[in-house]
Homo-oligomer: A and B are copies of this chain.
Amino acid sequence: MSTTQQHRDIAAHLRAAIRNGDVTPGDPLPSESELCERFGSSRGPVRQAMATLRAEGLVSSGRGRRTTVLDMVPTQSFDGVISYSEWCRQSGLEPGQVTQSVARRPADAALAAALGVATGAPVVSVFRLRLLDGEPAMVERLNYTLEVGRHVLGFDTDSGSIYQHLIEQGVDIDNATRTIDAVGADEDDAQLLGVPVGSPLLRVRRRAFTRAGTPVEASDDRYLPGTASFTVNSIRGNQSPLSMVVGA
């Protein structure tokens, strides 16, 4: 929104050129001075646009070298990162959900630690089977602090995106951490997804925070293999925001 920003225009223009195939992987992008002329701007906005593309994993650059196009890697908005419904829509697929339970209950030690509350403090938990184009795809276990979860208790969890609902209620969700690993299906997972107990599932645990750093959500999503995978692009000389760590 807001007025047009040069660096966004420039980045969008280059992104489009890459996606259209006007410049193909391995080709150089126009030089910065050329882009300055073409967009009638100074070097600042051009460099900011380049930094964006670099962060998205679309291009690689370096001293003396021309900036070159890498293989196209899809990126994802924050909404798509945190909301299954939004992710489905961005992928052109139909999300669905079958609520198993919505409950206010006391937090066990692990959940309390994740949400930054005392053990036994009340939290709101949602347990849903999620569908992809009508087929079982993921088992979702959401847990919210009471302050946030109270907006969930009065919401029809079969109707769609809880995240969307929370944003509309003015809940401040600013950042999230996801931890990805593999687990075997437990009995609930197995029954809902229609696979044997112990079958491999891709587990994504998510913690979401306010701007001030207060935890608001701690969740556990388990995907059927083949329905979802994660892709990340790393470039030499960049620190990767994704890290592999030892242990569960």
A74 to B234, CA, bound (A): 15
User: Is the Cβ of B234 less than 8 Å from the Cβ of A176?
Assistant: yes
For A103, the chain B residues whose CB sits under 8 A away are none
- Per-residue 0/1 for A55-90: is the Cβ within 8 Å of any B Cβ (1 yes, 0 no)? 111001010010011110111111011100001000
User: Is the Cβ of A242 less than 8 Å from the Cβ of B225?
Assistant: no
Chain B nearest CB: distance from A55 CB in Å? 6
**A136 is an interface residue with CB less than 8 A from chain B:** no
Chain B nearest CB: distance from A69 CB in Å? 7
User: Is the Cβ of B213 less than 8 Å from the Cβ of A183?
Assistant: no
Chain B residue nearest in CB terms to A210: B26
User: Is the Cβ of B241 less than 8 Å from the Cβ of A242?
Assistant: yes
User: Is the Cβ of A240 less than 8 Å from the Cβ of B201?
Assistant: no
5 smallest CB-CB distances across A and B, nearest first, come from: A200-B200, A26-B213, A182-B182, A181-B229, A182-B202
**A104 is an interface residue with CB less than 8 A from chain B:** no
User: Is the Cβ of A75 less than 8 Å from the Cβ of B243?
Assistant: yes
